[in-house]
Amino acid sequence: MANWIINNGLTAFILVVWMAINIFLFVWFYFIYALREEFFYTRHILGDALAWARAPAAVLNFNCMLILLPVCRNLLSLLRGSFVCCGRTMRKQLDKNLSFHKLVAYMIALMTAVHMIAHLFNVERYNENRRDTSDELGMALAELEDSHNTSYLNPIRNIETDAQQTPTYFVFTSIAGITGVIITLSLILIITSSMEVIRRSYFEVFWYTHHLFVIFFVGLVIHGVGYIVRKQINDKPLNTDFCRTRSSEWGQIPECPVPQFSGGPAQTWWWVIGPMILYLCERVLRFIRYMQAVTYRKIVMHPSKVLELQLMKNGFKMEVGQYVFLNCPAISPLEWHPFTMTSAPEEDFFAVHIRSAGDWTEKLIDIMQKLPEGTQGPKMGVDGPFGTASEDVFDYEVSMLVGAGIGVTPFASILKSIWYKFKISNPKLRTRKIYFYWICRETHAFEWFADLLQVLEREMEERGMADFLTYKLYLTGWDQGHKTHYGRPAWDKEFEQVRKENPTSVVGTFLCGPSVLATVLSKKCAKYSDVDPRKTKFYFNKENF
């Protein structure tokens, strides 16, 4: 258990706090609408569905406040890299921003479903309330109309035709109803297009559909001004137990004045206005960066249609393992795609390697292949750089780097930076040992990386530091004198060996690869971390885009 806490304790604590707030809001608002006197008459018409509609609405407000924050990339980079108070443990939480974004989205989807279903019952009961002649109190409440001294409770009123008495008519003609439909449809499209199979195979569909969040938030802010759920607002508290059986005497006896009701005010904007302003600033900053000139230093086509772009931009500074978003207006003026930089901070340019993996990358590669040699490429917008878990590689005494397929790219930046650092006679490095594992089925697309490994290995040997870097390549069908293994790593054996060779070290384990492998490595880090603080401990870190 102690080993698990080392890697997951703070994450678990944050999730428990988040869930506790959700539960508190749900329960608190449920009992407000289920018990408070000012909602007595509203409950008479709507029953338990009133509380079941309002409680999830409070949870929705809280999570809609949170949903934009994890995707404010510049804000997270500021927190991650600029504030001294943001230590390594907290930076690990910031690296899980997209996981938290998804978790909040699931809660929004769940609460939206509960809220919508409850309100469908409410609309039906409002409609039935005008027709139920057996309910004397209900009929009296339904007949209340706006005048100089009364206000209505049932929003379905002043009906002239039978057709207009249907709940469907009310839903599609009221502010709350039509915005509710728009919000729900937008949310359904956003969530369904975010499925992994869609993102991987039809990224453009995901990208464009995800921007329906603008419509979602506009509808969300407007939704509450419909004032569908109303409460009693009489100046003096009413004795509802006494007055509910004397509806025919309302306004005729002092104890029972005609009840007055009011809805609102709309509260959602109180919750979301701050994050919306932050996100707007984020988009303005992205636009400013987009307008900054980017020049091409070199365009290289590697085997297997791998494109290397070496770019230059005034004031651009990077750290190892960081990534940028690229936009090519010649392909699409709106699409931005993330790519890990494969260059080192010591170089006077930044580079990305792009493999054909979708419509956008295929179009970009086709454009670059048709360019006359030595010419500049099309206009390129660059947003970033943004921090990732790999930035912390040199904060550990020992680092285990695990790259799967294209996940090798952040480690190319790290290994290049090591090469540059060792060109200095006495590099100041806390890290004294790096283990690198590369797992890949198709290898031809990464021959550029093999050259880097060979150069770095020779450099280490010449400086008498051959033990600084240990690497193992798990490949199929390719062997150029590298330390090639076939199949998958025996992780228990690897972790046991690292622990044996580093009996008192803090080991950072870094993965850029699939979530299945992340689960395996996370468990191994917990398994092989020693409870004794003087002995080996493994900390797991994963790249997220």
pLDDT of residue 438: 84
pLDDT of residue 54: 92
pLDDT in tens, 414-453: 888 887 877 766 667 788 888 988 887 766 656 667 777 7
Other C-beta atoms closer than 10 Å to the C-beta of 229 total 20
Distance CA 353, CA 451 (A): 14
Q: Which long-range contacts (CB under 8 A, 24 or more apart) does 127-134 make?
A: 127/156, 127/165, 127/166, 127/167, 127/170, 129/45, 129/154, 129/156, 130/154, 130/156, 130/157, 130/159, 130/165
pLDDT of residue 60: 95
pLDDT of residue 187: 94
Q: Which long-range contacts (CB under 8 A, 24 or more apart) does 69-73 make?
A: 69/275, 69/278, 70/97, 70/98, 70/100, 70/101, 70/104, 71/97, 71/98, 71/101, 71/279, 72/278, 72/279, 72/282, 73/282, 73/325, 73/383, 73/384, 73/386
pLDDT of residue 109: 94
Which residues sit opposite 381 in a β-bridge?
A: 327
pLDDT in tens, 79-127: 776 554 556 667 777 778 888 999 999 999 999 999 999 988 888 888 8
pLDDT of residue 76: 83
> What residue ranges of the chain have pLDDT lower than 70?
1-8, 81-89, 146-150, 157-166, 235-238, 424-427, 442-448, 476-487, 544-545
Q: Which residue, 502, 425, 503, 506, is CA-closest to 470?
A: 502
Distance CA 331, CA 349 (A): 24
Distance CA 510, CA 406 (A): 15
Distance CA 184, CA 448 (A): 47
Q: Tokens 């502010």 map to which residue?
A: 175
pLDDT of residue 424: 65
Distances (CA, A) of 319 to 285, 381, 395, 397: 20, 19, 13, 19
Distances (CA, A) of 447 to 355, 374, 444: 12, 23, 6
